[in-house]
Amino acid sequence: MHKAQNRGKKIILASASERRKEILGLTGLRFSVEESGVEETMHAGMPPQRLARLLSRQKATAVAERRKGKDALIIAADTFIVIDGRYIGKANDAAEARAMLRALSGRRHIVVTGYSVMDCLTGKLISAACETKVWFRRLDHGEIEGYIKTGEPIGKAGAYAIQGLGSIFVRKMEGDFFNVVGLPLGQLATTLKKFGVSPFKA
- Residue 5 placed within a domain: no
Q: In which domain, by residue range, is 158 found? A: 10-193
- Residue 199 placed within a domain: no
How much is the CA Rg of the chain, to the nearest whole Å? 17
Terminal Cα distance for the chain, rounded: 16
**What's the CA angle centered on 19, arms 18 and 25, to 5 degrees?**
90
pLDDT at residue number 1:
46
- Residue 200 placed within a domain: no
CATH number of the domain bearing residue 72:
3.90.950.10
- Residue 141 placed within a domain: yes
- Residue 4 placed within a domain: no
Give the chain's domain count.
1
pLDDT at residue number 36:
86
- Residue 3 placed within a domain: no
Q: What is the pTM of this model?
A: 0.89
Helix axes 141-150, 94-104, angle to 10 degrees: 140
Which residues, 6 or more positions from 65, have their beta carbon under 8 angstroms from its beta carbon?
none
**Among candidates 56, 20, 12, 18, which has minimal Cα distance to 38?**
56
pLDDT at residue number 3:
54
Low-confidence ranges of the chain (pLDDT < 50): 1-2, 202
> How far, in Å, CA of 54 to CA of 38, rounded?
12
> How far, in Å, CA of 19 to CA of 141, rounded?
27
- Residue 99 placed within a domain: yes
Active-site residues: which are they? Answer: 78
> How far, in Å, CA of 23 to CA of 104, rounded?
25
**What single string gives the DSSP state of each residue in 20-38?**
HHHHHHTTT---EE----P
Which residues, 6 or more positions from 123, have their beta carbon under 8 angstroms from its beta carbon?
none
CA distances (Å), 62 to each of 31, 39, 110, 123, 152, in order? 17, 11, 27, 13, 29
> How far, in Å, CA of 28 to CA of 113, rounded?
22
186's enclosing H/E stretch is: helix 185-193
- Residue 201 placed within a domain: no
Write down how long the chain is.
Answer: 202
Residue 104 CB neighbours (<10 A): 22
pLDDT at residue number 5:
53
